[in-house]
Amino acid sequence: MTPVVAVIAPGAMGAAVGKRLTDRGVKVLTSLTGRSAGSAARARDAGMTDASDTEIAACDFILSILPPGEALALAGRFTLWLKASNAKPVYVDCNAINPATVERVAAAIAPTGCPFVDAGIIGAPPKGADAGPRFYASGAAAPRFATLRQYGLDVRVLDGALSAASALKMSYAGITKGTQAIGAAMMLAATRAGSAEALFAELSFSQKELLALFRQHLPMMPAKAYRWIAEMQEIAGFVGDDPAARELYQGAAHFYERMAEDFAADKEVMSALKAFLAKRSDA
């Protein structure tokens, strides 16, 4: 029997995941309570159905796909409805949270009797016929979540602790998004110091692959920066036993906070970053 899946919420990733499932015949529910007109439009375009919390608690899977700071609150919101539900859906937390936060979310879900899966999404939202992102999953119920492979999700089950998936996600995002923060910060510093041309020329000569990655990803970063603030804070918690590493990611969180503020205002910093990336080298 084809499962009924709830995806909360219909942001860029959630709506794309919802569409991947609806395109393969899955009924996908979502909650538009308190959501913007943009969210409602994305849900509609993805073929997702607005549903009450009671209806969502009666489905087969609940995929929590939110900014990381909202993960625990969402689990708490559904506790009452999941306790009362006879369906006991598999609750899959797909958010960029550290293992300690995973344990708190799992503890909130535990009294409901619903199976809990920790998942980390790595990759861009699914689009068209591409393979889509990888859903790394851990926990005893992860193989149940993996049954959604037949409906277009690339689910990869990990051995180890309940929070193994989030440990992987934190490690990976710490490298990729941490590198973006460092690269952008240095490009902006070089621009302020008047050495942007020289830095770009040297990157073009000695770091061609790195520069190509920056040119691919950094133009899109300012629009996403608001979501990455809490993610960097979660990574700071993940590396918390190393004070220097914790400070590094707290600094990255502050950097993305500044980028988000600029993007919401005059976009002066974003324009400077794009100007650097648009340069051409004679090397």
Whether pTM > 0.85 for this model: the answer is yes
- CA distances (Å), 28 to each of 48, 84, 154, 194, in order? 5, 21, 17, 52
pLDDT per residue as tens digits for the range 144-196: 999 999 999 999 999 999 999 999 999 999 999 999 999 999 999 999 999 99
Pairing of strands 154-157, 134-138: parallel
Q: What 8-state DSSP symbol labels residue 112?
A: G
| pLDDT tens digits, one per residue of 73-86 | 999 999 999 999 99
How do residues 189-235 score in pLDDT, each as one tens digit? 999 999 999 999 999 999 999 999 999 999 999 999 999 999 999 99
Res. 282: pLDDT tops 90: no
For 88-98, the pLDDT digits (tens) are: 999 999 999 99
Give the integer Cα–Cα distance in Å for 87 and 147. 17
- The span from the CA of 41 to the CA of 70, in Å, is 21
Q: Which two tokens stand for residue 159?
A: 């051995």
| Dihedral in degrees, nearest 10, Cα atoms 213, 262, 15, 112 | 110
Flag whether pLDDT at 283 surpasses 70: no
pLDDT at 82: 98
Q: Which of 3.40.50.720, 3.40.50.300, 3.40.50.10680, 3.40.190.10 is the CATH number of 4-161?
A: 3.40.50.720
Query: What is d(CA 273, CA 219) in angstroms, rounded to the nearest whole number?
Result: 8
Domain locations in the chain as residue ranges? 4-161, 166-277
What fold is seen in the domain 166-277? Answer: N-(1-d-carboxylethyl)-l-norvaline Dehydrogenase; domain 2 (1.10.1040)
